[in-house]
Amino acid sequence: MHIHILGICGTFMGGVAQLAVDSGHKVTGCDANVYPPMSTQLAQAGIALREGYEPEQLDEFRPDMVVVGNVMSRGRPIIETLLNRELPYTSGPAWLSDYVLRGRHVLAVAGTHGKTTTSSLLAWILEDAGLEPGFLIGGVPANFGQSARLGRAPFFVVEADEYDTAFFDKRSKFVHYRPRTLILNNLEFDHADIFPDLAAIQRQFHHLLRAVPGAGLIIANGLDANVSDVLEMGCWTPVEKFGAGDWEAYASTADGSAFDVHYQGVRQGRVEWSQLGLHNIQNALAAIAAARHAGVTTTTAIPALARFQGVKRRLETRGTINGVVVYDDFAHHPTAIATTLAGLRARVGDAPIITVLEPRSNTMKLGVFKDTLAPALALADAVVLYQAPDLGWELGAVSAALGPRGQVCHTLDETLTAIQAQAKPGTQVLIMSNGGFGGLHERLLHALRATDTSS
């Protein structure tokens, strides 16, 4: 089958494209912006790409099926052509469900925070146990070097996003996946561009629970009241709880790099690994529990975590120049910002931390979190806020709440200068954005190399 993907360069749709190629299908695609690294990865997979959404490409490629990404909307000429001609079309999640997930043991990871890391942990535990799972993850696990893989049946790990499916299907993506094993990591208000309130998100999570078979397993955060509320809306599947309940962890280091795992009050073993933060301990507990449901014993899963190499853009060290350490983190929510900072602070102690933040997600742009951003940044010694032209609200109030620690920059050049003015040997520079931030990470490392006195 020849499929043509509209919006192919997003992480999810790019992963669908790779899985389709691996399944033997011919794949072409288009996007508004076609650029590396995704364009390079897709080209290496033999996928022909077009920049833009001109309807003429439907005549050029003549696909058997058009897979429509959720970036597409009514009114675009290519969508109107697709509908007027009554061409076959579907969504990315529906295609994944019909052509990849059917007949497989799906392990889905849902929640506001930690989906990418927990999915990566779970896939790695299964891989380390020799099960060769397939996966589709919204990031790149360092152990695999790719975000999607067909793998070997039966196991398939999928990051289960609550964002809507397509312009013609406003249900959350995850309702298509029909998992046998489901992790509910946590639940907060997010995606204000499509959800009016937390209750609307909880309703979608309830719909997800309705698709989990009674012979399956739900692994739920026992410390999250919002998750508990979803379970109380109706649950027909056995539940194991982590954090408080069946699975608990006892950290022996402040930065979360070592902890003991307990199941139903019995110690299972000790994890010593490279990851930081108490939030990652909870992610690990959930992954261990899910792997156990897939047949991997805790005595096998726990040692695997010592070999887990992390995920790109999740507190990823991009370089150390002249004693200045530069990190990249995919921040999109005040809770994620606060927990990441807490993990880094526990690791580096009193070393100065400069946090550089680009509020870029749709919810950030709507200003929903403007009153909670400053408290989330409490552990930073200095905060540089980037006022992007399309942000839609002013960051001055956030900076004012931070006092002398905060400053607002209106260009990338100004942002780079502000960082350089404060960075000295021993400084930790934490750059947080769910986008590319204009290549700021590499620009900073280049500037630091130019002034490096150690060589």
203 lies in the same domain as 113? yes
CA distances from 244 to 73, 220, 222, 225, 309 (A): 43, 10, 5, 12, 27
In contact, 218 and 237? CB cutoff 8 Å? yes
DSSP H or E segment with residue 171: strand 169-172
All residues at 6 or more sequence positions from 220 whose CB lies less than 8 Å from its CB, including other chains: 183, 184, 227, 228, 231, 239, 240, 241, 242
What's the pTM value of the predicted model, to 2 decimals? 0.89
Closest to 69 in 3D by CA, of 178, 201, 169, 158: 169
- What pLDDT score was predicted for residue 425? 93
CA distance 396 to 191: 23
298 lies in the same domain as 384? no
How far, in whole angstroms, is CA 325 from its chain's centroid? Answer: 23
- What pLDDT score was predicted for residue 455? 54
Query: What DSSP designation does 351 have?
Result: S
Token output for 445: 């490392």
CA distance 311 to 58: 36
- Tell me if 310 is assigned to some domain: no
Q: If 0-12 CB within 10 Å is exposed, 13-18 middle and 19+ buried, where does residue 319 land? A: middle
43 lies in the same domain as 118? no
Which CATH number covers residue 363? 3.90.190.20
The whole-number average pLDDT for the span 377-383 is 95
Look at 21-30, 190-199, 220-229, 253-262 and tell me which has the smallest mean pLDDT: 190-199
Q: What is the DSSP string of 331-345?
A: --SHHHHHHHHHHHH
Token output for 122: 């779970």
179 lies in the same domain as 211? yes
292 lies in the same domain as 322? no
434 lies in the same domain as 300? no
Confidence of residue 388 (pLDDT cuts 50, 70, 90): very high
The whole-number average pLDDT for the span 172-191 is 94
Q: What is the DSSP string of 38-107?
A: HHHHHHHTT-EEEES--THHHHHH--SEEEEPTT--TT-HHHHHHHHTT--EEEHHHHHIIIIITTSEEE
Range of the domain at 422: 316-450
Q: How high is the mean pLDDT of the chain? A: 93
Q: Which residues pair with 260 in a beta bridge?
A: 250, 270
- What pLDDT score was predicted for residue 45? 87
Question: 274, 305, 336 — which closes off a domain?
Answer: 305
* Count of the separate structural domains present in the chain: 3
CA distance 199 to 110: 16
- What pLDDT score was predicted for residue 387? 94
* pLDDT tens-place string over residues 35-58: 667 778 888 889 999 999 999 999
Q: Which residues pair with 431 in a beta bridge?
A: 328, 356
- Tell me if 97 is assigned to some domain: no
How far, in whole angstroms, is CA 435 from its chain's centroid? Answer: 12
Which CATH number covers residue 110? 3.40.1190.10
